[in-house]
């Protein structure tokens, strides 16, 4: 007999939950949504009715204390992640928290330590770790398809001025602009594909007239273990695009749309400028795989790919990136 699905409640329900999470839960065999809470209670009641969600909680405390909830999926603004996570852990709930994990590394370390001390599962929703494109890139690099990796690049651009999440331009609620919002995905993707850690960061970034107190466009130059140099390019004022690329001593791997879930992705291997092979994969089940893997880890079956510890490492890189922007110097991570 299959185990009962892991019962999630979504804390901070909004556009992301409707667009990405609910469709994934509908396809998941091992996780289900049993409740939600959002600040706008009128909208919460409407959401529960529209999507058939059983429990419409009236407070965060009620959600976290509920015996109908096994795990809390935190999708609130970045500035609330620490408080929301600690509340859920206090009530003995496993936590899957959206990225970036917190406003800074100190907060994220406090969250990770609280989960570890409580013996509770704590993961970060770095969903791209479950993209088949990144799995293939990681496998090809590990098997020596391009020789020794020398350079990596990840790019994520999107028009944030047309996005429904208005709070992401508010520095009191968001961990920066696109560096914190999607740059963390790029950083994590390079760490995952290369199985390497970031040692230091140099950042160039700029604000625009309408970006508020956060950056709108940025580039990070990173020194990574294994002698790899990598770049992260992000923009919140450009047409949508994602890219992951790794150059080695004997070839290059390119995944245009590598961090995309809405269309098939071609992973291209070239050597000396010549096409060697193209493999097409579909990332459409990435969120489902993430939920099912978290449920498996909750049952004690393996490790969740994006642990709280990994979230802390990403936050250390973000801290260094923002320090570099302020100082104008290369900053060490940690």
pLDDT at 241: 98
Domains in the chain: ranges and CATH: 6-125+288-292 (3.40.50.720), 130-283 (3.30.360.10)
Residue showing tokens 């801290």: 319
Burial of 18 (0-12, 13-18, 19+ CB in 10 A): middle
pLDDT at 213: 87
The residues, any chain, with a CB within 8 Å of residue 52's CB and separated by 6 or more, are: none
Strands 265-271 and 274-281: antiparallel
d(Cα 2, Cα 324) in Å, to the nearest integer?
Answer: 50
d(Cα 35, Cα 93) in Å, to the nearest integer?
Answer: 14
pLDDT at 210: 86
Dmax (CA) of the chain: 61
Burial of 27 (0-12, 13-18, 19+ CB in 10 A): middle
The dihedral through the CA atoms of 245, 246, 252, 258 has a sign that is negative
pLDDT at 215: 97
Q: What is the DSSP string of 46-115?
A: HHHHHHT-SEE-SSHHHHHH-TT-SEEEE-S-GGGHHHHHHHHHHTT-EEEEPSS-SSSHHHHHHHHHHH
Phi, psi of 94 (to 5 degrees): -65, 155
pLDDT at 169: 81
pLDDT tens digits in sequence order for the chain, 334 residues long = 778 999 999 999 988 999 999 999 999 999 999 999 999 999 999 999 999 999 999 999 999 999 999 999 999 999 999 999 999 999 999 999 999 999 999 999 999 999 999 999 999 999 999 999 999 999 999 999 999 999 999 999 999 877 777 788 889 999 999 999 999 999 999 999 999 999 999 999 999 988 888 999 999 999 999 999 999 999 999 999 999 999 999 999 999 999 999 999 999 999 999 999 999 999 999 999 999 999 999 999 999 999 999 999 999 999 999 999 999 999 999 9
Three-state secondary structure call for residue 195: coil
């Amino acid at each position: 007999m299959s185990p009962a699905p892991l019962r999630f409640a979504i804390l901070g329900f909004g556009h992301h939950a409707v667009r990405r999470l609910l469709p994934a839960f509908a396809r998941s065999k091992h996780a289900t949504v049993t409740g939600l809470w959002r600040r706008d209670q009128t909208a919460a009641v409407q959401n529960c009715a529209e999507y058939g969600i059983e429990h419409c909680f009236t407070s965060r405390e009620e959600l976290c204390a509920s015996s109908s909830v096994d795990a809390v999926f935190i999708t609130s603004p970045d500035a609330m992640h620490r408080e929301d996570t600690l509340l859920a852990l206090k009530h003995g709930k496993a936590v899957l928290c959206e990225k970036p994990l917190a406003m800074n590394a100190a907060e994220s370390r406090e969250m990770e330590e609280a989960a570890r001390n409580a013996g509770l599962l704590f993961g970060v929703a770095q969903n791209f770790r479950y993209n088949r494109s990144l799995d293939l890139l990681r496998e090809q690099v590990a098997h020596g398809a391009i020789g020794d990796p020398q350079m990596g690049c990840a790019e994520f651009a999107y028009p944030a001025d047309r996005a429904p999440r208005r709070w992401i331009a508010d520095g009191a609620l968001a961990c920066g602009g696109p560096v914190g919002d999607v740059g963390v995905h790029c950083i994590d993707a390079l760490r995952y594909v290369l199985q390497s850690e970031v040692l230091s960061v140099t950042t160039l970034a700029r604000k625009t007239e309408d970006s508020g107190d956060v950056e709108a466009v940025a580039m990070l130059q990173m020194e990574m273990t294994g002698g790899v140099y990598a770049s992260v390019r992000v923009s919140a004022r450009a047409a949508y695009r994602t890219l992951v690329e790794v150059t080695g001593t004997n070839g290059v791997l390119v995944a245009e749309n590598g961090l995309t879930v809405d269309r098939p992705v071609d992973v291209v291997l070239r050597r000396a400028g010549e096409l060697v092979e193209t493999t097409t994969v579909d990332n459409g089940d990435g969120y489902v795989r993430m939920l099912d893997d978290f449920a498996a880890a909750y049952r004690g079956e393996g490790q969740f790919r994006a642990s709280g510890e990994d979230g802390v490492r990403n936050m250390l890189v973000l801290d260094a990136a923002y320090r570099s922007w302020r100082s104008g110097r290369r900053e060490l991570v940690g």
